[in-house]
Chains A and B, each alone.
Chain A
Amino acid sequence: MRPPRSPLGGPRRPGGGGRSPLTPRGAVRIAAFGVITIGLIAVLLIQLWFLQVVRGGQYEQQAEANRLRTVITEAPRGVITDRNGTPVVSNRAGQDVVGRPQDLTGPRGREVLARLARTLDVPVRDLVRRVAQARQNAPYENVVLAEDVPLDLQAYLQEQRRAFPGVSLQSVFLRDYPRGATAAHVLGTVGAITPEEFQAFRRRGYLGNERVGQSGLEATYEQYLRGVAGRSEVEVDAQGAPVGRGVISSSPPVPGNTLRLSIDLPTQLALQRALKAQVRLAGLSTGAAGVAMDPRTGEILAIASYPTFRPDVFVSGSPRQVRGLLRDGSQPLLNRAIAGQYPAGSTYKPISSTAAIEDGYTTPDEELESPGVIELYDREWQGFRKRDHGIVDVRSALEVSSDTYYYQLAARMYESQGRTSLQEWSRRYGLGRPSGIDVGGESSGLVPDRAWKRSICTPGALECSWLPGDSINMSIGQGNVLVTPLQMATAYAAVANGGTLVTPTIASAVLDQDGRVLRNLVAGRPRREIRPAIDEATLGAIREGLFRASNGDEGTATAVFGNLPEPYRVAGKTGTAENPPNPDHSWFVGYAPATRTPRIVVAVVVERGGTGASAAAPVVCQTMAAYLDFRPGRCGEGGEAN
């Protein structure tokens, strides 16, 4: 028999063949053994090829991510100042607790998060959720786990940092409000980007872990206020300690630009003080709001709502404090100046006057009886307190705030085909839609018309069409007319400036670090002439009526404004908006100086404040005093008048 071949070694040499233990079966076994061992080694080569050549790029990124830490140096957000440069919102230094998402997942990471949650006294699922979200969005950036932690907690985390791998402290700038609650309702808040907002911000070049303006001016002007954080790449070892060349690249932080408001701090403070005082004085009042504006440009000089809140609750307040604010029945977070909707009451009368005169139902000089009660459409309609004002034209009707005068005009308008005069002119004066002010949350108010009446009509109701009473009520700003203080300020600004509807604007300019103006925010705002243009004679008559309402012998607000020196004369209208079953809302809207170019228009409403002259008018007077610089002592006490 032929000697067997070695499976690996070539032909056997004749010399040793006889004594070899190798049998044919043995050779097969050795061959199988060899195939297995060499085969396993081939498997290793294939897997090595797969790891290094096929997926090498991916692992290279992973290795780079291991090696490089990005250190973020936060840039301060832009400061917000009043029109004179006094800071209203600035920054202070704080420390956030941040974590690296890749170190805080898995069982080990969850342990750390659980420990951290106990330390911070927050639910662990909040932290887990934040980490999971960050891991998805920006896995190599730090995620904020707790904002603005107190000093003792900072010290504790520093000491115990071995117990919190992947967690560190990061210096941050936090919003600071040196003036407390001043203008709180329009400044807005800054906070983390929410999951819903993430995609939109991502498109604008954000990483997703920044703090951004969430509401108010902070949100509107985010693009200017936002600072660009500095970043440096540092090489680290497995423990996170810098090694080797250390800093690899860095870019310095760029602070945000300054936002200058048109708000005048003394005027703002006067308005706030006066609102608060009147609400307390009125006793039953649930709140108040006011707006002061430059009628020529729409620049907001003061804007306030009461009750108010301290905005730093949203920066460093406890969750309980925040919840308390949100649930407070007095709605301190509601910006009543732009979102509060009230019946206009008699402050609506300049609009009724414009509609009646411009559409030809009367003339500025036509005189009408103004009895205490008048019969129209087989019904008796009462004027305020059933007072008889004798014979009035439009000027004296405004002065004494005659209701029956307007009832008659309303009846004329109702009877003619132009039943929509009041609606059309209301809209031309800017009612029924947002004014376009540069903070969110504005209400539209309501200009009731036939379509609206049909839409609220319940099946089976008696009458769904527009009735004479609807027009009659509307002519004195009652019925279903709803307005915001800001809308009324804009409408009166149009009366004062000769018929231009301005767009209210709180921010006036963006400034760089050296105070140079980068962008004028007022110049580009829309201004619309009211069309068709209001006849100068009509406006003149209305202005005179408003002037007499505040200065005339029988003026409803003369008790408040009658004593002002000549350069500060006020033209304006009281309003007493019925609010059954609760006490009336008190309104006053006016502008000054009335005898020259008006520089300020102020609209104030005091909820359940009583008559217009009693609560709202004094607030307007105090506010104007601060802006026009006359002694507030010249303002009189309000009386009983609508």
Chain B
Amino acid sequence: MAPSSRRVDLADRVRRAAAGLDWWLIGAAALISGFGVYMVRAATRTDVPGQPDYYFNRQLAYVLVGLVAMVAVARLDLERVGRYVWVLWGGLCAALAVVLIIGSTGGGARSWIEYGPVRVQPSELGKVVLIVVLATVIVQRSGDLDPRRLTLLALGLTALPAAIVFIQPDLGTALVYVAILFAILWVAGQPWTHFAVFGTVVATVAVLVLWALPAAGVDVLKPYQVERLTAFVDSGADRSETGYQLEQSKTAIGSGGALGKGTDGATQTINDFLPEHHTDFIFAVVAEMFGFVGGGALILAYALVVWRGLRILSRARGRVDQLVAAGVVAMFSFQVFVNIGMNVGIMPITGLPLPFMSYGGSHTLTNLVAVGLLLRVAQRRPPQVRPL
């Protein structure tokens, strides 16, 4: 290659870096994140007296940090990370265990580590760590383990962190871990009989935990968890805290109508009838303020993210890449479905945030890092630039 000036070299490097970037995915994630920052402000401007921008400023900072992290992760060498997979897994379990012992409590769960002004929620970042760990280990061991042992290994790798998170108690995040595991095993091509067994076990456990054991006097879940899980079935009947949240959420969404009530007319949000309006129920705020048009557009934006994720997944070059992409897509789609589902009253209230939208540092960071992982996978496709 002929020597070239530094300038040309730089331009070429930028072009190479940009090549293979999925701009649709970046655009959708950035758009939703930006909209999320705007919605956090719209929903919370009266929450902290005298500081209309309290949550807005913080969420904006989280998104900016998250975007930097996304770019960084997009350049990550997954193979090198794979060498430290057991360190990662051990670190995750250790961090979760530490939280359980010395962590601080929020929303009924002991989920945070506080260090000065920084509050980190390890279970959030644990999602991407778990994705990388599972993808790497499965690919590494698929040669020397028969499928059943491989499934059991993956199950074990997921079960420990999921169990710790469940004890915190943060049922929603534990379920995200399980969803990630299932998606990765599924795409990894594990026999479908394994999933049939999983399904049976999960159904049995659900029946035991929610009905049979309480009937026998053994309470596995805390009462508020049972209430949350079952309230959506018949929310009109009770006015308990959970039923109240659900009723107010549906009222906020329904009253938005086709075109919404605007940021000033959304009384369910502004007058504080809708609880957790900047975190778990931020979708209801969107739907109240911007109606079916706004809420539907947001759902379509998530569909775009998921579609780009699936596209990257189907075109991934390496096995690890493929499974990482599957884990990320599962994480996004599960959280979107469960969160919006609980907002609109078709899923139990499990306390999951809405990706890119809900207020929260660890959670925003995690989602943008996950986008970074997808971008990384997409970029490892053969370069599309014209031959030099």
Residues of A with Cβ closer than 8 Å to B?
Answer: 6-9, 12-13, 15-16, 19-23, 25-27, 29-30, 32-34, 37-38, 40-41, 43-45, 47-49, 51-53, 55-60, 62-64, 66-67, 103, 105-109, 235-239, 243-244
Cα of A56 to Cα of B329 in the assembled complex, Å = 32
Q: Which of A26, A38, A56, A60 contacts B187 (CB 8 A)?
A: A26
Q: Are B273 and A235 in contact, with the CB atoms below 8 A?
A: no
Nearest-CB distance from B178 to chain A (Å)?
15
The yes or no answer to B193 lying at the interface (CB within 8 A) is no
Q: Are A51 and B382 in contact, with the CB atoms below 8 A?
A: no
Q: Given contacts A16-B381, A238-B272, are A107 and B240 in contact (CB under 8 A)?
A: yes
- B residues contacting the other copy or chain, number (CB 8 A): 60
Nearest-CB distance from B131 to chain A (Å)?
15
Q: Given contacts A6-B315, A9-B311, A9-B314, are A56 and B258 in contact (CB under 8 A)?
A: yes
Task: Pull 13 A–B residue pairs with CB atoms less than 8 Å apart, ordered by A.
Answer: A16-B317, A16-B381, A33-B329, A41-B337, A47-B341, A52-B291, A53-B292, A60-B254, A63-B255, A66-B271, A67-B271, A67-B273, A235-B271
Contact partners of B55 in chain A: CB under 8 A: none
Q: Which of B254, B302, B310, B337 contacts A62 (CB 8 A)?
A: B254
Question: Which B residues, 287 to 302, have Cβ-Cβ distances below 8 Å to chain A?
Answer: 287, 291-292, 295-296, 299-300, 302
The yes or no answer to B345 lying at the interface (CB within 8 A) is yes
Q: Are B189 and A52 in contact, with the CB atoms below 8 A?
A: no
Q: Are B322 and A21 in contact, with the CB atoms below 8 A?
A: yes
Residue of A nearest to B382 (CB): A16
Cα of A66 to Cα of B253 in the assembled complex, Å = 14
Other than the given A22-B316, A48-B292, A60-B254, 20 more pairs (CB < 8 A) read A7-B314, A8-B310, A13-B382, A20-B316, A29-B189, A33-B183, A34-B307, A40-B337, A41-B303, A47-B341, A48-B287, A48-B295, A52-B256, A56-B255, A63-B255, A108-B240, A108-B241, A235-B271, A237-B272, A243-B271
The yes or no answer to B257 lying at the interface (CB within 8 A) is yes
Contact partners of A244 in chain B: CB under 8 A: 270-271
- The DSSP consensus for interface residues of chain B is helix
The yes or no answer to B340 lying at the interface (CB within 8 A) is yes
Contact partners of A27 in chain B: CB under 8 A: 314
Q: Are A33 and B187 in contact, with the CB atoms below 8 A?
A: yes
Contact partners of B258 in chain A: CB under 8 A: 52-53, 56
Interface string of B333-358 (1 = CB under 8 A from A): 10011001100111000000000000
Residue of A nearest to B284 (CB): A51
Q: Are A62 and B251 in contact, with the CB atoms below 8 A?
A: yes
Contact partners of A12 in chain B: CB under 8 A: 315
Q: Which of A26, A52, A62 contacts B257 (CB 8 A)?
A: A52
Cα of A109 to Cα of B241 in the assembled complex, Å = 11
Contact partners of B123 in chain A: CB under 8 A: none
Q: Are A33 and B272 in contact, with the CB atoms below 8 A?
A: no
Contact partners of B302 in chain A: CB under 8 A: 41
Contact partners of A43 in chain B: CB under 8 A: 337, 341, 346
Q: Given contacts A16-B382, A38-B306, are A51 and B337 in contact (CB under 8 A)?
A: no
Q: Are A56 and B238 in contact, with the CB atoms below 8 A?
A: no
Q: Are B268 and A66 in contact, with the CB atoms below 8 A?
A: yes
Contact partners of B322 in chain A: CB under 8 A: 21-22, 26
Contact partners of A16 in chain B: CB under 8 A: 315, 317, 381-382
Q: Are A51 and B311 in contact, with the CB atoms below 8 A?
A: no
Contact partners of A237 in chain B: CB under 8 A: 271-273
Cα of A428 to Cα of B345 in the assembled complex, Å = 75
The 10 closest A-B pairs by CB, nearest first: A59-B254, A106-B239, A63-B255, A37-B333, A56-B257, A237-B271, A238-B272, A6-B314, A52-B292, A40-B337
The yes or no answer to B318 lying at the interface (CB within 8 A) is yes
Cα of A60 to Cα of B257 in the assembled complex, Å = 8
Q: Are B287 and A47 in contact, with the CB atoms below 8 A?
A: no
Cα of A33 to Cα of B325 in the assembled complex, Å = 12
Residue of B nearest to A17 (CB): B382
Q: Given contacts A30-B313, A44-B299, A235-B267, are A53 and B337 in contact (CB under 8 A)?
A: no
Q: Which of A15, A23, A51 contacts B253 (CB 8 A)?
A: A51
Contact partners of A103 in chain B: CB under 8 A: 239
Q: Which of A9, A23, A32, A49 contacts B315 (CB 8 A)?
A: A9
Residue of A nearest to B380 (CB): A16
Contact partners of A33 in chain B: CB under 8 A: 183, 186-187, 310, 313, 326, 329-330
Q: Which of B189, B248, B299 contacts A48 (CB 8 A)?
A: B299
Residue of B nearest to A13 (CB): B382
Question: Which B residues, 38 to 97, have Cβ-Cβ distances below 8 Å to chain A?
Answer: none
Q: Which of A41, A66, A67, A105 contacts B333 (CB 8 A)?
A: A41
Cα of A23 to Cα of B340 in the assembled complex, Å = 34
Contact partners of B239 in chain A: CB under 8 A: 103, 105-109
Cα of A237 to Cα of B271 in the assembled complex, Å = 4
Contact partners of B187 in chain A: CB under 8 A: 26, 29-30, 33
Cα of A494 to Cα of B252 in the assembled complex, Å = 73
Cα of A238 to Cα of B272 in the assembled complex, Å = 5
The yes or no answer to B319 lying at the interface (CB within 8 A) is yes
Contact partners of B237 in chain A: CB under 8 A: 106
Q: Are B271 and A8 in contact, with the CB atoms below 8 A?
A: no
Q: Are B303 and A106 in contact, with the CB atoms below 8 A?
A: no
Q: Are A63 and B268 in contact, with the CB atoms below 8 A?
A: yes
Nearest-CB distance from B23 to chain A (Å)?
15
Contact partners of B270 in chain A: CB under 8 A: 243-244
Q: Are A62 and B315 in contact, with the CB atoms below 8 A?
A: no
Nearest-CB distance from A28 to chain B (Å)?
10
Cα of A48 to Cα of B298 in the assembled complex, Å = 11
Contact partners of A67 in chain B: CB under 8 A: 267-268, 271, 273
Q: Given contacts A8-B307, A45-B296, A106-B238, are A51 and B250 in contact (CB under 8 A)?
A: yes
Cα of A380 to Cα of B189 in the assembled complex, Å = 123
Cα of A20 to Cα of B307 in the assembled complex, Å = 19
Cα of A109 to Cα of B381 in the assembled complex, Å = 61
Cα of A107 to Cα of B241 in the assembled complex, Å = 10
Contact partners of A47 in chain B: CB under 8 A: 341, 344-346
Cα of A9 to Cα of B313 in the assembled complex, Å = 10
Nearest-CB distance from A135 to chain B (Å)?
11
Q: Are B333 and A51 in contact, with the CB atoms below 8 A?
A: no
Q: Given contacts A44-B341, A107-B238, are A30 and B346 in contact (CB under 8 A)?
A: no
Contact partners of A45 in chain B: CB under 8 A: 296, 299-300
Cα of A63 to Cα of B274 in the assembled complex, Å = 10
Q: Are B344 and A37 in contact, with the CB atoms below 8 A?
A: no
Contact partners of B256 in chain A: CB under 8 A: 52, 56
The yes or no answer to B161 lying at the interface (CB within 8 A) is no
Q: Are A38 and B303 in contact, with the CB atoms below 8 A?
A: yes
The yes or no answer to B243 lying at the interface (CB within 8 A) is yes
Q: Which of B295, B306, B314 contacts A41 (CB 8 A)?
A: B306
Cα of A43 to Cα of B248 in the assembled complex, Å = 21
Cα of A481 to Cα of B258 in the assembled complex, Å = 78
Nearest-CB distance from B357 to chain A (Å)?
14
Cα of A44 to Cα of B271 in the assembled complex, Å = 26
Q: Are B267 and A239 in contact, with the CB atoms below 8 A?
A: no
Contact partners of B315 in chain A: CB under 8 A: 6, 9, 12, 16, 20, 22
